[in-house]
Amino acid sequence: MSYFGKNIRKIRSLKSLSQQAFAELFNLKRGTLGAYEEGRSEPKIETLIKIANYFSIPIDELLTTELTVNNLLKFKGNLTVEQDLGEQEFFVKVPCITTKNQNDYIKYFDKESYIQDLPFLTLPINPDKKFRAYTVQNLEMSKNELGMFPKDIAVGEWIPPSVYAKLNNGTLVFAVTEKDIILRRLFITNDIFVLRAEHKNVDDVELQLKDVKEMWRVRYVFYHRLPETNYTLEDKLFQLEKDFDRLKNER
């Protein structure tokens, strides 16, 4: 299996092109392009040559190397942008899970063609990482007028399953399961995932690894209203502990 699909998806993101717009550039059907991106099909040699030439990318690199955004920006031609904002400041489209599309997301979360059609946020975050935005739908993560409320948006970074066991207890995540998407703090005990709400009247949810389709670690939160700032001493200590753990992990 080549890296062609991943690379053209990254090119589309870099150029802010929809699947339809990219497909039309090379006289392809959108479904054909979707099959390339999902790794279900490989392009004909003439299509490969057209795309490689158009973006001035060597054919062998387009096929055999998983290119980063920085790699792509080094190539000449149509990938040139007006201003190179740098890896951490490049504006990235982040697909957003909303109240209306949540049920469909649970069904089609692994279909790249579906993900590309989701509404999205455009944020100055690392383009080489995979993010998803989730619209808060309940009061489970609120406590004493603090925390997250409906219409707030949590932006999560994808967590590979191999990393689950390394997460610190209390990490804020949203997990995609067979029937729901759950935004909670994660605690792992004897291979059981306990998802705990901030609201004291909400029971824990216990999951096994097989129950989790995807897990996203919350990195940013956008509040629908201005949050209160009168934190208690307990809240401040908890926040300091979280920040300290985060700094240790990022070293």
pLDDT tens profile 178-196: 999 999 999 998 889 999 9
Determine the pLDDT at residue 158: 96
Determine the pLDDT at residue 81: 45
Determine the pLDDT at residue 85: 39
3-state helix, strand, coil in the chain (%, to 5): 35, 25, 40
Determine the pLDDT at residue 146: 82
Cα distance between residue 207 and residue 126, in whole Å: 30
- List of E strands, the chain: 91-97, 120-124, 131-135, 142-143, 146-147, 153-158, 171-176, 181-189, 192-196, 205-207, 214-222
Contact 196, 185 (CB under 8 A): yes
Determine the pLDDT at residue 84: 42
DSSP 108: H
Determine the pLDDT at residue 89: 44
DSSP 167: S
With vertex at residue 246, the alpha carbon angle to CA 243 and CA 148, rounded to the nearest 5 degrees, is 60
To the question of pTM greater than 0.85 for the whole model, the response is: no
Determine the pLDDT at residue 145: 77
Residuewise pLDDT in 10s, the chain (251 residues): 688 888 898 888 877 788 888 888 888 988 898 888 888 888 888 888 888 888 888 888 888 888 887 777 766 555 544 444 344 445 788 999 999 999 999 999 999 889 988 999 988 887 778 999 999 999 999 987 788 999 999 999 999 999 998 999 999 999 999 999 999 999 998 889 999 999 988 999 999 999 999 999 999 999 877 655 555 556 656 666 766 666 666 55
Rg (CA), the chain: 20
Q: Is 121 helix (H, G, I), strand (E, B) or coil?
A: strand
Tell the burial category of 157 from Cβ atoms under 10 Å away from its Cβ (0-12, 13-18, 19+).
middle
